[in-house]
Amino acid sequence: MAESTELVEWQQAVPTIPQEVLNLARKIDIESSLDDSGGSTATLDIMAQILRAGTAEDVFAASNAGAVSAKEFIGIPFKFHTKDLQWKRSAAVFRENGNFPYYMLVRATNLQTGEEFVLTCGAPSVIAVLWRLGELGVLETADEAEGGSSFILDAKPTASGFSVLLIRPFKLAAPKASNAKKA
């Protein structure tokens, strides 16, 4: 199968790519689609939320909700629904600057509020972690057992003043047993 224009452009912009990273990019390239599809699950979900809105205020709230960037979800635990994961090809402006040419789009649930939302993330470390967990069967097992995998995102500052987005597992605290005696 021929590599996509997006993958070829990225390889040209980044002269030295470790083989494991290039292999990951090639695998995602096969599964990814351009982000111009009005038929994607996430796009249709956003449209449905708008159309279900009962007031003008709710219409605009649903319209503005859209997809949430992972950068806006730092420190908030969420459940990742693997069955709704989609891989997308990034816009040319990202690839031309040497950024990883793919990002993910996934339905998730905010574990603090219970609200469902669509999460987008193009952070290379997050993509690599989630891809590898998928290969190891961890995500699928959690989907079957718990309805999804729970994570939290952290921003780790770099020496150059930027932040790197990292992902780690999140476990809900078990309810504390009550010491009260029954009458």
Tell whether 53 is covered by a domain: yes
Cβ atoms within 10 A of the Cβ of 106, count? 24
Question: How many domains does the structure of the chain reveal?
Answer: 1
pLDDT at 177: 58
Mean pLDDT across 151-175: 87
- Span of 14-18, 151-155, 169-173 with lowest mean pLDDT: 169-173
Tell whether 174 is covered by a domain: no
Measure the CA–CA gap between 146 and 78, rounded to whole angstroms: 13
- Structural domain span for residue 163: 5-169
Q: Which of the listed ranges 3-7, 106-110, 128-132, 145-149 does the model predict with the highest average pLDDT?
A: 128-132
What three-state secondary structure class fits 147? coil
Where is pLDDT greater, at 8 or 41? Answer: 8
Confidence of residue 179 (pLDDT cuts 50, 70, 90): low
**β-bridge mates for residue 168, sequence order:** 152
Tell whether 91 is covered by a domain: yes
CB 150 within 8 A of CB 78: yes
Question: Position of tokens 């980044």?
Answer: 14
pLDDT at 145: 73
Tell whether 77 is covered by a domain: yes
With a cut of 80, say whether residue 8 has pLDDT above it.
yes
Q: Each residue of 109-142: pLDDT tens digit?
A: 999 999 888 889 999 999 999 999 989 988 877 7
Confidence of residue 182 (pLDDT cuts 50, 70, 90): low
Tell whether 142 is covered by a domain: yes
Within 2-101, strands assigned E span 33-34, 67-69, 78-80, 86-89
CB 115 within 8 A of CB 98: no
For the chain, the average pLDDT equals: 83
Output the pTM of the full model.
0.76
Tell whether 115 is covered by a domain: yes
Measure the CA–CA gap between 169 and 78, rounded to whole angstroms: 10
State the DSSP string of 125-146. HHHHHHHHHHHTTHHHHHHHHH
Tell whether 145 is covered by a domain: yes
* Number of helices (H), then strands (E), in the chain: 7, 8
With a cut of 90, say whether residue 76 has pLDDT above it.
yes
